[in-house]
Amino acid sequence: MPLIRTGILLAAMTALFLMVGMLLGGQSGLAIAFIVAMAMNFFAYWNSDKMVLRMHGAREVTEVEAPEYVRIVRDLAARAGLPMPRTFVMDNAQPNAFATGRNPENAAVAATTGLLKTLTREEIAGVMAHELAHVKNRDTLTMTITATLAGAIGMLANFALFFGRGRNNLGLLGTLAVMILAPMAAGLVQMAISRTREYEADRMGAEICGRPLWLASALEKLDRGTLQIDNPTAEHNPATAHLFIANPLHGGRVDNLFSTHPNMANRIARLRDMAGTPDYVEPAPTHTPGPWG
C-alpha cells in the first residue's frame, strides 16, 4: 500500500508539472518543461548525493576513525541484504541522520556528532536501520525525483509572467494564480510522499534491527534534541529537510499537510504497537561509538 500511494503521488507530481507547462506556454511550454525536467533529473540522479553531503559538511569515516558506528552500519547492512554503504559524519550538535545515493550500490549514510554523542548503541542501530530501510526501498532516489520536480514547478511558476504572458488564455490573474498555487500544490505532494516513506522506513527499519523499541527510544531523543538544538546548515538549505530522520527545522508539531515528517508521537506509537508494548520503558544506556562517546 505505501508503494502504491507513493506511485500515485509521483504520478500526480508529474501531471502537475506537465499541466503547469501546458497552461503557461501551450505545446511549446509543455515541450520546454519536459526538456528542463529531463535535464534536472539527469543531473540530480548523478550528483544529488555528492551535493547534499557537501552541503552539510559531511566527511567520510572508516572503521579507524569511528569503529563502533561503522560496525553497526556494516552489521545492519548484512542483515538487510544490502551492500555496505559509505559512512559519513557531520559536525553538528543536533542529533540527526540521513541516507542518500541513487541506488543501494552507491548509497551513503550520514550521522551528526550530536546523534553519536547522545544516543546509546542500540538507539544508533535503530536509526541506522531506518536509514538503510530508505536505501533498500530506494527512497533516496524517489525523494530526489520529487524534490527536482517540485523545484522545476517552482521555477516555471517564478517565470510565469515572462514565460506565459500573451501566450495563454489565463490572463494576468490566472497566471498569477498559477504562480502562487502550483508551487504550493507541488510542495504538498512532496511532503505527502516524504511522510509516507518515513512511516514505511520506520516499519522496515524496526524489522532490520529486530527491535522496534530501539528506534522508538531514538525517536524520542531526536524529537527533544531537534527542538532544543538548531541546525543552521539545514535552516539555510530547507529543501534537504525531508532527507533527515527527524525534521531538522524548527516548526510545526502536528502531522498535517504542511509537514515534511510525520508527527513523532504517531511514529513512536506505531513502533510500540509493533513491539506489543504500548507502555514503553526506555532501555538502559550503553556505551556510544568511538571518539564521540
Q: What is the pLDDT of residues 113-156, one digit of tens each?
A: 999 999 999 999 999 999 999 999 988 877 777 777 777 777 77
- Give residues with Cβ within 8 angstroms of 235, minimum separation 6: 248, 249, 250
Query: Distance (Å, rounded) from C-alpha 243 to C-alpha 248?
Result: 9
Per-residue pLDDT at 1 exceeds 70: no
Comparing 6 with 54, which gets the higher pLDDT? 54
- Give residues with Cβ within 8 angstroms of 69, minimum separation 6: 61, 87, 89, 111, 116, 124, 289, 290
Q: Is 220 a catalytic residue?
A: no
Q: How confident is the model at residue 197 (pLDDT cuts 50, 70, 90)?
A: confident
β-strand pairing of 108-112 with 97-100: antiparallel
Check 122, 131, 198, 200 and give the catalytic one: 131
Lookup: cell for 203: 516499519
User: What predicted TM-score, i.e. pTM, was given to this entire model?
Assistant: 0.79
| Mean per-residue pLDDT over the chain, rounded | 81
